[in-house]
């Protein structure tokens, strides 16, 4: 099931779910997410309990920063509550993140942005009412 999910074979995933008990781990959702198989992610989320690994968003963000699978990142964050990793992003994610007011990972992201010297992004997040630590802001000239 892990392999079929990553390859986007929803019919195979459905068959295995309905007829077998072995062969599904967090790799099923991770593989589907990395390869942009949103239809498979939705099915697994509804029908399985394995979930994702703790580093799924980091690998998915690498693809998203290349312009791929932006919808997968948004779905993982909004539906599954996966935290957006604190790292530099492309403009699409800066805009998305700054508009996503109820994000639970804002402080961590803002701290990392300040640490990386991303002054413009820090300003946007601060204007949105997000907070960060004093230690993160000290080196910034904002």
Torsion over CA: 35, 31, 71, 109 (sign): negative
Give residue limits of the domains in the chain.
88-142
pLDDT of res. 44:
97
Q: How distant is the alpha carbon of residue 114 from its chain centre?
A: 20
pLDDT of res. 104:
58
- Predicted confidence (pLDDT) per residue in 26-47, tens digit: 999 999 999 999 999 999 999 9
Block mean pLDDT (10 aa), the chain, length 142 = 96 96 92 95 95 87 74 86 68 65 64 75 75 72 64
- How many whole angstroms separate alpha carbon 41 and alpha carbon 18? 16
């Amino acid at each position: 099931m892990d392999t079929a999910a990553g390859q986007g074979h929803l019919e195979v995933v459905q068959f295995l779910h309905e007829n077998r008990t072995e062969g599904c781990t967090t790799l099923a959702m991770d593989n589907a997410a990395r390869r942009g198989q949103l239809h498979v992610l939705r099915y697994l989320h509804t029908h399985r309990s394995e979930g994702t690994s703790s580093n799924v968003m980091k690998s998915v963000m690498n693809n998203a920063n290349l312009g791929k699978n932006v919808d997968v990142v948004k779905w993982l964050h909004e539906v599954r509550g996966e935290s957006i990793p604190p790292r530099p992003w492309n403009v699409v994610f800066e805009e998305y993140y700054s508009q996503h007011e109820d994000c639970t990972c804002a402080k961590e992201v803002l701290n990392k942005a300040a640490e990386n010297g991303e002054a413009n992004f820090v300003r946007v997040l601060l204007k949105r009412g997000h907070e960060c630590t004093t230690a993160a802001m000290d080196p910034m000239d904002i």
